[in-house]
Structure 1
Amino acid sequence: MTITLSAVIVDAADLESESFFWHRILGGTIHKTPTHHFLRIAGSPVVVIQQAPEHVPPQWPDGRSQQMHVDLSVDDLAAADRLAVEAGARRLRPLGDKALSATGSGVYASPAGHPFCMRAS
Structure 2
Amino acid sequence: MAFSLLSLIVDAADLESESSFWRHLLGGTVTRTPTHHFLQTDGLPVIAIQQAPHHTPPQWPDGAPQQMHFDLATGDIAAAEQRVLDGGGRRLRPADDTDLDSAGSRVYASPAGHPFCLRTT
TM-score by length of 2: 0.94
Which 5+ residue runs of structure 2 have no aligned equivalent? none
Helix, strand or coil for the counterpart of 1:18? helix
* RMSD, matched Cα: 1.3
Bigger share in helix: 1
Give the aligned length: 120
What's the CA shift for 1:38? 0.4
Aligned to 2:10: 10
**1:90 CA drift (Å):** 1.1
What secondary structure, in the 3-state scheme, does the structure 1 residue paired with 2:21 have? Answer: helix
Shift of 1:104: 2.7
Once the two structures are superposed, the pairs formed by residues 9-88 of structure 1 within 5 Å of their partners are 9-88=9-88
% identical equivalent positions: 60
CA distance in structure 1 between the aligned counterparts of 2:96 and 2:88, rounded to whole angstroms: 16
In structure 2, what residue type is equivalent to 1:96?
Answer: D
CA-CA distance at 1:96 after TM superposition = 2.4
Gaps of at least 5 residues in structure 1 are: none
Paired residue for 1:112? 112
TM-fit CA distance, 1:102:
4.2
Whole-Å separation in 2 of the counterparts to 1:43 and 1:101: 27
